[in-house]
Structure 1
Amino acid sequence: MQALPRSRLLRFVEQGFHLARRAVARYSSKFSKRRYTLHQHIVLLCPKVRKNATYRTLLDERIEMPRIRRAIELEKLPSPLTLCKAFNRLDMAVWRVLLHLSVALLPTNGVVSIDASGFDRSRASKHYTKRARLTIQRLKVTLLVDTRANAILDLHVTTIRKHGSKTAPSLIKRNTGKVAIFFGDKGYDDQKIRALAREENLRPLIKHQEFLSLHKAWNARLDAGPYGQRSQNETVNSRLKLKFGAFVRSRRWWKQFRELTIACFTHNIDRSL
């Protein structure tokens, strides 16, 4: 019988398992029961976000996927509660390290763009919320995206309406070695951001608020140059919402932050395939 080809899902799992081995230790502590490794937990949590599924649905599918289980050395499936506890145990720092490692899989060029988008904190339908006159709280997610590979270099998530000039500095400082040119729209028109970018040897290409005719001329010159690449960030924001949903399933804010970081990590691995 002819051997089956390696599916995209299998390659995704193998790549995620490889990165998980580089990012974290095999077990969470010396007191671990050692039934499952942290690497296996990470690789099981990523497809959950990738398919926007529940724990039970994910594990039910894995029963019929022997090649996937073999790829992550999983002999026995964990219970949904075990995966839920693993999600709580894996800190945000672990997912940031995994996101950093996933960027190396893609051919980035240092030309990055920053933009923000909103994700709903509830799965209620738009029709229901409008009829019931409900207000759904949103997360503001700011992405730093490489314009060549559409790779997500970093993200900032907040539950409040924080202005872009307050979130951009932390993203710039964390990614100085990966950025050469920095695109931003008028929401990031702040002299402090420009000064910080120049201190870090970056070239800021940020549109000005048009208070003077000189500002309009500067913006027109930007439009004639490579500024159009900034739209790649909007493409990535749209792609995340189409693939993983425009909402988060988790109920607590710190879980919501992790869920979005997993989505960015998953997006990078998908791009590398």
Structure 2
Amino acid sequence: MTSEIRRFTRLTVATAKTVVENPGEPADPVGGGGFADWAMLTLHTLRLELGKSYRQTIDLLSEMPGVLEEIGLTRLPHYTVLRDWFEKISTKTWRAFLRASAEKRTGHAAIDSTGFDRDHPSRYYAQRAHYRVRSLKVTALVDVETLYVTDVHCTTTKKHDAKIGPQVARRNAGDLLSLAADRAYDGKPFRDELRSYGVRPLIKHRIYSSLDLAHNARMSSMHYNRRWMVETVFSSLKRTLGAAVRARSWHLELREMVLKCTVYNLRRSVRYP
């Protein structure tokens, strides 16, 4: 019987090849000409799946011939090379990788946010690096029927949900049929924008008048309450992949969160095919 880590690697390789420009490139070209983009995407995914540092990941993979066979690697990069590739690969590619990993999408989604700690080695480092905010606000778009994460937004500011929601919805408007969210996303411009895309807004109104009560009463509780599926996904992410990000800069923290969600999606595909 094929092990789960090997099946996970096989699926990751297939998914990574769909988002790179040259999917037919060998994992490690003959002559030491570097490594293929899709191979490095796979190695970074395995790093989070194993929950190890760059150095430990390379050390463990050197003892996993079956996993290396799935990738097609005859040699492994130095751990510093792996670290540099994390920054070298564009955010656009990481986002495409996330979308490709969410293979089962119904169009019925929910949006919500949570906090992830910015993991620093010491208070001294945080002061030297001028960190003012110790947490990362993460907003996720989740398919409420399949529980796949389809998009992620990160910020270290106090940006309101009502400003983030339209930005996330705009990027995914072509894939959405309905969008559920709590009152923090309440706003007529947001609802109007969703309707202009053909997306049904399932967003409760803040109570300012009896008319708001009437609007909320007309909304289907069964469909609106499915927004709690986002909380389920957040809980799973934090329990299995950690409630903190290790990266030191904001743009790398964003990529790490996108990669966490990608690993979560791939795990679901392997365990619940």
Name the TM tier (shorter chain). 0.7 to 0.9
Change (3 A) 1:232 1:74: same
**Other-structure match for 2:49:** 50
Q: Distance in 1 between matches of 2:132 and 2:193?
A: 37
Match of 1:176 in 2: 173
1:139 partner SS: strand
Structure 1 runs of 4+ off > 6 angstroms? none
Other-structure match for 1:96: 95
Aligned to 2:160: 163
In the other structure, the counterpart of 2:237 is: 240
CA separation in 2, counterparts of 1:252 and 1:123?
11
Taking a change above 3 Å as real, the CA distance of residues 135 and 98 of structure 1, as seen in their structure-2 partners, is closer
Aligned sequence identity (%):
33
Relative to structure 2, which stretch is displaced further, 191-200 or 46-55? Answer: 46-55
2:15 is aligned with 1:19: yes
The one-character-per-residue Cα deviations of 1:156-186 (angstroms, maximum 9, x if unpaired) are 1111111011111121111112110110100
**Structure 2 counterpart of 1:22, one-letter code:** T
Structure 1: give runs of 5+ residues left out of the alignment.
Answer: 126-133
Over 3 Å counting, the alpha-carbon distance change for 1:185 and 1:62 in structure 2 is: same
Tell me which amino acid in the other structure corresponds to 2:186. Answer: D
Which residue of structure 2 aligns with residue 131 of structure 1?
Answer: none
Rounded to whole Å, the distance in 1 between the matches of 2:120 and 2:249 is 14
Q: 1:203 to 1:140 in 2, by over 3 A?
A: same
The alignment partner of 2:219 has SS state of helix
| Cα deviation, residue 76, structure 1 | 1.0
For the 8 Å contact 1:194–1:204, the answer to whether it is kept is yes
- Please, what TM-score do these two structures have when normalized by structure 1? 0.88
**CA distance in structure 2 between the partners assigned to 1:123 and 1:148 by the alignment:** 36
How many pairs does the alignment contain?
A: 257
SS state of the match for residue 245, structure 2? coil
| TM value normalised by structure 2 | 0.88
Counterparts in 2 of 1:216 and 1:146: CA distance versus 1, 3 Å: same
Q: Distance in 2 between matches of 1:8 and 1:228?
A: 33
- 1:49-70 Cα shifts (integer Å, max 9, x gaps): 2233201111111121100011
Matched, 1:191 2:166: no
Q: Does 1:139 align with 2:121?
A: no
Aligned-pair distance for 1:47? Answer: 1.7
Partner Cα separation in structure 2 for residue 82 and residue 54 of structure 1: 13
Q: Residue 206 of structure 1 is aligned with which of 182, 199, 203?
A: 203
- Structure 1 position 41 matched with structure 2 position 37: no
Contact kept? 1:51, 1:244, Cα under 8 Å: no
Distance (whole Å) between structure 2 residues aligned to residue 77 and residue 224 of structure 1: 52
Supply the distance in 2 between the matched residues of 1:94 and 1:143 (Cα, whole angstroms). Answer: 18
Higher mean alpha-carbon deviation, 17-26 vs 216-225, is at 216-225
Counterparts of 1:45 and 1:180 in 2: how far apart (Å)? 33
Letter paired with 2:86: F
Unaligned runs of 5+ in 2: 123-130
How big is the shift at 1:18?
Answer: 1.0
* Structure 2 equivalent of residue 130 of structure 1: none
For 1:235 and 1:79, the matched residues in 2 are separated by 37
Q: 1:51 to 1:210 in 2, by over 3 A?
A: farther
Partner-residue secondary structure (3-state), 1:141 = strand
CA shift for structure 1 position 136 = 5.7
Contact 2:133 2:156 in 1 (8 A): no
2: CA distance, partners of 1:136 / 1:123: 11
Shift of 1:33: 5.5
CA contact (8 A) 1:45 1:87 kept: yes
Would you say the 8 A contact 1:120–1:136 is kept in 2?
no
- Residue 125 of structure 2 aligns with which residue? none
- The CA RMSD over aligned residues, in Å, is 2.2
| Amino acid of the structure 2 residue aligned with 1:170 | Q
